[in-house]
Amino acid sequence: MPSDARLAGQLDPASTVLLTVECQRGVVGPDSALPELAEEARGSGALANVARLVAAAHHAGVQVLHAVAERRPDGRGASRNARLFRAAERLPVRQTTGSPAVRIADPIPVSADDLVVRRFHGLSPIAGTEVDALLRNFGCRTLVVTGVSANVAIPNAVFDAVNLGYTAVVPADAIAGVPADYTPALVRHTLTLVATVTRTDDVLACWREPPGTR
């Protein structure tokens, strides 16, 4: 774990952005198209920790971006060049534009200052989206990555952030994937090599978690 001083320096609210990845109802909500992932995100406490981090970011003046994966009802422009995309087309819950499935899931608070970035293709919440330009316009140096899934979108986001020159910070207890033992293996063997891995409480200590959010 990083020293308190080092982490606090990385998490300066003026140059930090918090990114939530696919924390949408159709992915981690009670009517998820991916019930095993939703159960893990909720049962592990990861989703609750994302909510705590977002609330603390609002309190500290840290910009929040919500990255949402969705598709047009007719599927135009959607990726089909991987097994994952073809499987998604057969799911009972579709992440279609304007549907409840693409709304940010409870208990994550959303403020008027938050930005929602929607992607219609690919695996990454950053590559091929507006995220990089927005981060630069915000003067971001550190990107805090949270959400799901540790299997695909989270490592994509971390790698893209590092490749673009940002410092990536990952609260390991605010991400989730399946099976449950995959996430700690990803953190230990991969994310620790490229990101600052920490815990939700350590980030909140830097941002002075608002009372009543536990």
- Enumerate domains of the chain plus CATH numbers: 4-205 (3.40.50.850)
What is the per-residue pLDDT for 74? 77
Q: Sign (positive/negative) of CA torsion 116, 40, 26, 156?
A: positive
Spatial contact of 148 and 41, defined as CB atoms under 8 Å apart: yes
What is the per-residue pLDDT for 93? 63
Spatial contact of 65 and 115, defined as CB atoms under 8 Å apart: yes
What is the per-residue pLDDT for 122? 84
Return d(Cα 58, Cα 40) in angstroms, integer. Answer: 26
Q: Specify the amino acid at residue 168.
A: A
DSSP letter at 15 equals G
Phi, psi values for residue 68, rounded to 5°: -120, 135
Reported in sequence order, the residue ranges of the chain that DSSP labels E, i.e. its strands, are 16-21, 63-69, 115-119, 142-148, 167-171, 175-176, 196-198
State the burial class of residue 196 (Cβ atoms within 10 Å of its Cβ: 0-12, 13-18, 19+): buried
CA-angle at 61, arms to 58 and 169, nearest 5°? 85
Q: Specify the amino acid at residue 52.
A: R
Reported pTM: 0.91
DSSP letter at 79 equals -
Segment 93-120, tens digit of pLDDT: 677 889 999 999 999 999 999 999 999 8
CA-angle at 138, arms to 137 and 143, nearest 5°? 115
What is the per-residue pLDDT for 85? 66
Taking Cα atoms as reference points, which of 77, 50, 75 lies closest to residue 64?
Answer: 50
Return d(Cα 88, Cα 49) in angstroms, integer. Answer: 27
Which residue ranges of the chain lie beneath pLDDT 70?
1, 3, 77-79, 81-93, 209-214
Given the structure tokens 């549907």, which residue do they identify? 99
